[in-house]
Amino acid sequence: MTTRAAAPPSALGPDELERLLSWLKDQVAGNLDASLPPGYAREVAASEILAQVYSRTHLNLSDTKRDQILSRVMRDLFGLGPLQVLLEDPTVTEIMVNGPKSIYIERHGTLIPASAGFEKEEQLQAVIDRILLPLGLSASAENPLCETRLPDGSRVTVAVAPVAVSGPYLNIRKFMRERLTLENLVALATLTPGIAEFLRACVRARLNLLVSGGPAAGKTTLLNGLAGNVPEAERIIVVEEAAELYLVLPNVVRLEGRMAGPQGKGGISTASLLRGALRMRPDRIIVGEIRGEEALELLHAINMGHDGSLMTIQANTPAEALTRFETFAQTGGADLPTKVLRERLTSAVDVVIQLSRLRDGSRKLTSVCEVAGMEGDQVMVTELFKFLEEGRNAQGKVTGQLRATGRRPVFAGRLEEAGYRMPTVIGMSALDFRPPPSSSP
Residue 427 confidence (pLDDT) above 70: no
In this prediction, residue 432 carries a pLDDT of 40
Compute the average pLDDT of residues 306-316: 94
What is the share, in percent, of the chain residues with pLDDT greater than 90? 31
Rounded-to-integer distance, Cα 345 and Cα 424, Å = 28
User: Which class would CATH give 83-173?
Assistant: alpha beta
Q: Identical fold at 83-173 and 182-417?
A: no
Compute the average pLDDT of residues 102-111: 86
**Residues 289, 313: contact at Cβ < 8 Å?**
yes
Of 223, 222, 280, give the one whose Cα is nearest residue 251.
Answer: 280
Tens-digit pLDDT profile for residues 10-26: 445 656 777 887 888 78
Rounded-to-integer distance, Cα 374 and Cα 39, Å = 59
In this prediction, residue 365 carries a pLDDT of 95
Confidence of residue 188 (pLDDT cuts 50, 70, 90): confident
**Residues 355, 219: contact at Cβ < 8 Å?**
yes
Residue 429 confidence (pLDDT) above 60: no
Of 426, 305, 319, give the one whose Cα is nearest residue 371.
Answer: 319
In this prediction, residue 104 carries a pLDDT of 94
Give the start-to-end residue ranges of the domains of the chain: 14-78, 83-173, 182-417
Question: How many CB atoms are closer than 10 A to CB 204?
Answer: 21
Rounded-to-integer distance, Cα 56 and Cα 257, Å = 51
Residue 200 confidence (pLDDT) above 90: yes
Which residues make beta-bridge pairs with 214?
none
User: Which class would CATH give 182-417?
Assistant: alpha beta
Please write down the HEC assignment for all residues of the chain.
CCCCCCCCCCCCCHHHHHHHHHHHHHHHHHHCCCCCCCCHHHHHHHHHHHHHHHHCCCCCCCHHHHHHHHHHHHHHHHCCCCHHHHHHCCCEEEEEEEECCEEEEEECCEEEECCCCCCCHHHHHHHHHHHHHHHCCCCCCCCCEEEEECCCCCEEEEECCCCCCCCCEEEEECCCCCCCCHHHHHHCCCCCHHHHHHHHHHHHCCCCEEEEECCCCCHHHHHHHHHCCCCCCCCEEEEECCCCCCCCCCCEEEEECECCCCCCCCCECHHHHHHHHCCCCCCEEEEEEECCCHHHHHHHHHHCCCCCCEEEEECCCHHHHHHHHHHHHHHCCCCCCHHHHHHHHHHHCCEEEEEEECCCCCEEEEEEEEEEEEECCEEEEEEEEEEEEEEECCCCCEEEEEEECCCCCCCHHHHHHCCCECCCCCCCCCCCCECCCCCCC
Q: How far is CA 31 from CA 43, 368, 386, in A?
A: 13, 63, 65
**Residues 68, 54: contact at Cβ < 8 Å?**
no
- Is the pLDDT higher at 360 or at 208? 208
CA dihedral 63, 64, 66, 68 (to 10 degrees): 160
In this prediction, residue 101 carries a pLDDT of 87
Mean of the per-residue pLDDT values of the chain:
83
In this prediction, residue 245 carries a pLDDT of 84
Which is it for the CA torsion 13, 15, 19, 24, positive or negative? positive
pTM score of the predicted model: 0.74
Which span out of 52-66, 225-239, 396-410 was modeled with the highest average pLDDT?
A: 225-239
